[in-house]
Amino acid sequence: MLCERCNENEPTVFITKVIHGGMTKRNLCEECDKVENPEGFDHTCFYCGEKLVNAVLCPLCQAELFRFMHSKGLIFPTDHPTPEQVAEIKAMEAELEKHMKNWVAQRKRD
């Protein structure tokens, strides 16, 4: 699957944006995301605050989020998520957030 806008690059804008409230559900590559969202979003990891280049989660937090979602039976849709999948993920938002906060706190202690 390719970026919806340029049809050239791999899309890198993930469903983390869906989880964290109403941002684009489109599949865009980094370049097109920058063009379409010039304001962008905080370039720090949503959970641990690590500085990032145009992403919402650092690789560590992303891996843990995926792992946790899988453990809950949620398959992470990297392509177009169905409205049902989005609803399912939204329904778990609070739980995901709580888990990730605990996990980050644990990680920083180590």
- What is the contact surface with Zn ion in residues (CB under 5 A)? 3, 5-6, 9, 29, 32, 45, 47-48, 50, 58, 61
Minimum distance of Zn ion from residue 96's CB (angstroms): 13
We find the least distance from the C-beta atom of residue 24 to Zn ion, in angstroms, to be: 12
Smallest separation (angstroms) from Zn ion to the CB of 28 = 6
Question: Distance from CA of residue 83 to its chain's centroid?
Answer: 16
The DSSP code for 10 is P
Q: Which residue, 84 or 106, is less far from Zn ion as judged by CB?
A: 106
Task: Identify which of residues 64 and 89 has a Cβ nearer to Zn ion in the complex.
Answer: 64
Q: Provide the b/e sequence for 17-54 (b: ≥16 CB within 10 Å).
A: bbbeeeeeeebbbbebbeeeeeeeeeeebbbbebebee
Pick 25 or 87: Cβ nearer Zn ion: 25
Distance, C-alpha 31 to centroid of its chain = 17
Nearer to Zn ion by C-beta: 59 or 82?
Answer: 59
Tokens of 107: 């990680």
Shortest Å, Cβ 29 to Zn ion: 4
Helix (H, G, I), strand (E, B) or coil at 84: helix
